């Protein structure tokens, strides 16, 4: 009931539509209940007395009631559908907004396919309940109450005979609802697994084909699809078993009414006439179809509760990183200081960063080096507060980042991640993603600075060229340069380049570094790179090892120390620099 009430809260803002739908329900029930009463008079007065005028009047009255019932039915269905779609619209918006606010820690473990299923399929189930389950349930309730009152008022024995089977019908419906809810949740879980496999294979299609794993992935998808089919069949089997039993119970009411009614009609003292028996049978038949739909209503209700549980699991996930009510919104200069910072991704996992103390002054370039898993990307992800530190403090211009407004903080930080994600829109819109109000001159200037302008202009549509999903129609180097332009158009005070030149060739890297050297002036820049050519001119080079700062200094200082940095230098650059010196000497000798 808690889940159901939470679903119904989404209908509160639309009380007007709800009232109109309820009026349609009540009017439909009242008009439907009047028809059997008219049939009773038609038989007892019109037929038995031969009153043709009364028959004509009764016929016209039934037609009029039919028209009114059609209007009421339209009101009921139209406004219930409108209400359901509007509520689903609000739920999806809340779900999407909440997912965007959830921390990276949540998304590190959440499955994309499951989130997609909950935002689409599960919300659809909630919408079906609001449009049909809730409204049809209220319609059944209104008809049942109205018909029951009239039947008991007319004849108690006949009413008991017709309504007694409703007790086992209610028990059967409750049992069906319990089974359907648990089995439907299992179906939705299997559907989420199928969606996750599909999403993984579509994103990693090139990898699947490169390793010729199509048959394996087809079998994996087929197994999951078969599992979904089996559970769906189990659910349908449950539904198919209980529905005939419920129909049989409803049919029993008709038999009892006809049997007892025919006997009472033969007893003058009973007051039961042929018209009364026909009217009671009409009431039973009037209730028959709605009562047969009790199972359908219960199924929709239980499915909505199961889907609502899955949706609210996401909505209940705490937003771990958010702006404080009194968050500060200063204009930052870019003085970044890590004070004894430690971090782990989860309470049960080891520390990824341990006791990091590091200071970067405005305008400085800080290069981060280290083996894979040493904590380089984690360190820079703390600056825009993708995660919060577990110990210590991270300060920018003397402010703890946890005291700053998130939007204000992130709007002053430009980030180029290791994997550059582009959206399925134009190159212009991708570059201006962080600043939709950026002028054409600013967009072009950022593209030129990132050495992207020339290849953009080679496309027939230039900056209006639509890139494919995730930028698949562009090369890795082109995607990376557009991502760099996207960061630069922000004119950020702090620039984070997470291995941002890893996807470009040496010549392109050199051109990008020349452009970035000018643009880094006055900005605090953190550069993560595997190539020493990218970082050897940095103001500070920080070498990380297993989450700790192993070495720190300039290029020359670290070479003199003779530690990890020197080892990397020997592997990457020593032979190249020796060859360069020899070529220079040969040139001078010549």
Determine the Cα–Cα distance for residues 480 and 431; give it in Å rounded to an integer. Answer: 11
- Convert the pLDDT of each residue in 376-391 to its tens digit: 888 998 999 988 999 9
Of 5-9, 197-201, 425-429, 507-511, which gets the smallest average pLDDT?
Answer: 507-511
Three-state DSSP at 446 gives helix
- Note the helical H segments in 361-488: 376-381, 406-410, 427-431, 440-449, 453-458, 476-488
Which residue bears the tokens 């994103």? Answer: 203
Average pLDDT, the chain: 81
- Convert the pLDDT of each residue in 531-587 to its tens digit: 666 677 788 989 888 889 988 988 888 888 877 888 777 776 655 556 555 555 665
State yes or no: pLDDT of 342 exceeds 90: yes
Name the burial class of residue 316, with classes exposed (0-12), middle (13-18) and buried (19+) by CB atoms within 10 angstroms of its CB: exposed
Strands 353-360 and 365-370: unpaired
Contact between 21 and 73 under an 8 Å Cβ cutoff? The reply is no
Rounded to whole angstroms, the maximal C-alpha distance in the chain is 136
List of E strands, 476-554: 494-498, 524-528, 540-545, 548-553
Task: Compute and round to an integer the Cα radius of gyration of the chain.
Answer: 36
Determine the Cα–Cα distance for residues 75 and 79; give it in Å rounded to an integer. Answer: 6
- Convert the pLDDT of each residue in 168-222 to its tens digit: 776 777 677 667 767 777 887 787 788 778 877 776 776 777 777 788 888 888 8
Determine the Cα–Cα distance for residues 313 and 117; give it in Å rounded to an integer. Answer: 13
Backbone dihedral angles phi then psi of residue 266, each to the nearest 5 degrees: -85, -5
Single out the residue of 218, 548, 584 nearest to residue 373, CA to CA. 548
Backbone dihedral angles phi then psi of residue 368, each to the nearest 5 degrees: -115, 125
Sequence-distant (≥ 6) Cβ neighbours of residue 530 within 8 angstroms: 369, 499, 502
Instruction: Give me the percent of the chain exceeding a pLDDT of 90.
Output: 9
Contact between 415 and 528 under an 8 Å Cβ cutoff? The reply is no
State yes or no: pLDDT of 91 exceeds 80: yes
The token pair at 451 is: 């050495």
Contact between 343 and 382 under an 8 Å Cβ cutoff? The reply is yes
| Cα dihedral 551, 556, 562, 565 sign | positive
Determine the Cα–Cα distance for residues 314 and 546; give it in Å rounded to an integer. Answer: 34
* Domain annotation for the chain: domains and CATH numbers: 2-315 (1.20.1560.10), 336-563 (3.40.50.300)
Three-state DSSP at 382 gives coil
- Convert the pLDDT of each residue in 407-445 to its tens digit: 899 888 888 876 677 888 888 998 888 888 888 988 998
* Number of alpha carbons in the 13 Å side-chain half-sphere of residue 303: 25
pLDDT value of position 295: 67
Kindly provide the b/e burial profile for residues 320-335, where b requires at least 16 CB atoms within 10 angstroms of the residue's own CB: ebebeeeeeeeebbbb
| Eight-state DSSP code of residue 564 | H
Q: What is the DSSP string of 162-201?
A: HHTTHHHHHHHHHHHHHHHHHHHHHHHHHHHHHHHHHHHH
Strands 365-370 and 540-545: parallel
Of 63-77, 184-198, 478-492, which gets the smallest average pLDDT?
Answer: 184-198
| Cα dihedral 138, 143, 144, 150 sign | positive
Sequence-distant (≥ 6) Cβ neighbours of residue 426 within 8 angstroms: 463, 464, 465, 466, 467
Three-state DSSP at 341 gives strand
């Amino acid at each position: 009931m808690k889940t159901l009430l939470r679903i119904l809260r989404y209908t509160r803002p639309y009380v007007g539509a709800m009232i109109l739908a309820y009026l349609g329900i009540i009017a439909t029930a009242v008009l439907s209940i009047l028809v059997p009463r008219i049939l009773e008079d038609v038989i007892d007065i019109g037929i038995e007395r031969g009153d043709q005028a009364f028959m004509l009047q009764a016929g016209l009255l039934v037609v009029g009631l039919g028209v009114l019932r059609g209007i009421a039915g339209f009101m009921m269905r139209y406004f219930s559908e409108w209400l359901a779609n509007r509520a689903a619209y609000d739920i999806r918006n809340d779900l999407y907004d909440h997912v965007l606010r959830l921390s990276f820690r949540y998304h590190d473990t959440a499955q994309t396919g499951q989130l997609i299923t909950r935002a689409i399929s599960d919300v659809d189930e909630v919408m079906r309940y609001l449009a049909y389950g809730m409204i049809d349930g209220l319609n059944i309730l209104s008809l049942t109450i109205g018909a029951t009152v009239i039947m008991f008022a007319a004849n108690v024995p006949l009413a008991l005979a017709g309504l007694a089977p409703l007790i086992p019908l209610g028990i059967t419906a409750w049992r069906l609802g319990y089974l359907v809810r648990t089995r439907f949740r299992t179906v939705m879980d299997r559907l989420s697994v199928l969606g996750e496999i599909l999403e993984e294979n579509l994103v990693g299609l090139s990898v699947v084909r490169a390793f010729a794993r199509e048959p394996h992935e087809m079998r994996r998808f087929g197994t999951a699809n078969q599992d979904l089919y089996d559970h769906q069949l189990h659910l349908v089997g449950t539904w198919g078993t209980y529905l005939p039993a419920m129909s049989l119970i409803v049919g029993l009411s008709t038999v009892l009414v006809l049997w007892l009614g025919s006997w009472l009609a033969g007893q003058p003292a009973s007051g039961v006439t042929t018209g009364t028996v026909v009217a009671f049978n009409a009431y039973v038949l009037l209730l028959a179809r709605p009562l047969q739909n009790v199972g359908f209503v219960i199924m929709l209700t239980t499915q909505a509760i199961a889907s609502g549980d899955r949706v609210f699991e996401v909505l209940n996930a705490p937003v771990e990183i958010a702006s404080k009510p009194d968050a500060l919104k200063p204009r930052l200069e870019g003085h970044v200081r890590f004070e004894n910072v430690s971090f782990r991704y989860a309470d049960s996992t080891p520390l990824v960063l341990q006791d990091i103390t590091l200071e970067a002054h405005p305008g400085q370039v800080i290069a981060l080096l280290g083996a894979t898993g040493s904590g380089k990307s984690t360190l820079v992800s703390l600056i825009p507060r993708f995660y919060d530190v577990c110990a210590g403090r991270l300060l920018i211009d003397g402010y703890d980042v946890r005291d700053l407004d998130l939007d204000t903080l992130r709007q002053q930080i430009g980030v180029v991640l290791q994997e550059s994600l582009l959206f399925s829109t134009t190159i212009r819109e991708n570059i201006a993603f962080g600043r939709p109000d950026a002028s054409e001159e600013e967009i072009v200037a950022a593209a030129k600075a990132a050495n992207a302008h020339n290849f953009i202009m080679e496309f027939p549509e230039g900056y209006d060229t639509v890139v494919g999903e995730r930028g698949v129609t562009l090369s890795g180097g082109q995607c990376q340069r557009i991502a760099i332009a996207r960061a630069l158009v922000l004119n950020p005070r702090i620039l984070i380049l997470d291995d941002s030149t890893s996807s470009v060739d040496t010549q392109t890297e050199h051109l990008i570094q020349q452009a970035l050297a000018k643009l880094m002036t006055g900005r605090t820049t953190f550069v993560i790179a595997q190539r020493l050519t990218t970082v050897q001119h940095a103001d500070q080079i920080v070498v990380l090892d297993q989450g700790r700062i192993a070495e720190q200094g300039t290029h020359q200082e670290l070479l003199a120390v003779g530690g990890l940095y020197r080892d990397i230098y020997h592997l990457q650059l020593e032979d190249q620099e020796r060859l360069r010196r020899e070529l220079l000497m040969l040139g001078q000798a010549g």
